[in-house]
Chains A and B, each alone.
Chain A
Amino acid sequence: EVQLVESGGGLVQPGGSLRLSCEASRFAFSSYWMSWVRQAPGKGLEWVAGIKKDGSEKFYGDSVKGRFTISRDNAKNALYLQMNSLRADDTAVYYCARDVGDIVATMFDYWGQGTLVTVSS
């Protein structure tokens, strides 16, 4: 079965940076769009960013545009999220999700277990 395993979360101070990773296995990683989706504690889901199969196109939610950067390494079956200028409202569980629509951010059929990012002084 498809596996997505996130890592890199932790406690960071406001204004700091963090890089999340997602290791994918048991499917043809380079054949799929991929996205990051987050969920603040006790809150709903929010799409964060998405990236095309070959990494040539990247898209971002309004709340992270200019601060976060999504990337991928198809040779390593890995997805990344570089998060800069972190704010308290970025505190959330960050999920890596396989994006199976024909365009970005339409349907997410597999999700990782998530990694918690806490932004606090």
Chain B
Amino acid sequence: QSALTQPASVSGSPGQSITISCTGTSSDVGGYDYVSWYQQRPGKTPRLIIYAVTNRPSGVSDRFSGSKSGDTASLTISGLQAEDEADYYCSSYRSTASLNVFGAGTKVTVL
């Protein structure tokens, strides 16, 4: 099964905004509002930061926001902070084959 397509790495300076894209197909990202994003710091377990495309769980900073256009979802981190250094994974429900698909992950580096 093909994973969702994410850039391997994105970097930015403290205070800047960065955006991570997540491209799928009409069978997953484009067809359902079931896109979620996970943050995984080194040696830690994944943490849900965005669900249903745009929603933030309680306790997640409002510096994280999600959106979707067509087959591409995006995660924006504004006011970048050192603590945001982590791997970020998108995920979507999928109507074909396996019911869920993750992206390969994007490593965010704060310069």
Contact = CB atoms under 8 A, between A and B. Distances in A.
B57 A109 contact: yes
Interface string A36-68: 010000001111001000000001111100000
A44 B90 CA distance: 10
Contact of B99 (A50, A63, A95, A111): A50
Number of chain A interface residues as a range: 20 to 34
A113 interface: yes
Query: Range of interface residues on chain B?
Result: 20 to 34
Nearest to B47: A111
A32 interface: no
Interface of A: 35, 37, 44-47, 50, 59-63, 95, 100-101, 103-109, 111-114
16 contacts: A35-B100, A37-B46, A45-B38, A61-B100, A62-B97, A62-B98, A63-B1, A101-B93, A106-B100, A107-B36, A107-B48, A107-B52, A108-B48, A111-B46, A111-B47, A113-B45
Interface of B: 1, 3, 34, 36, 38, 45-48, 51-52, 57, 89, 91, 93, 97-105
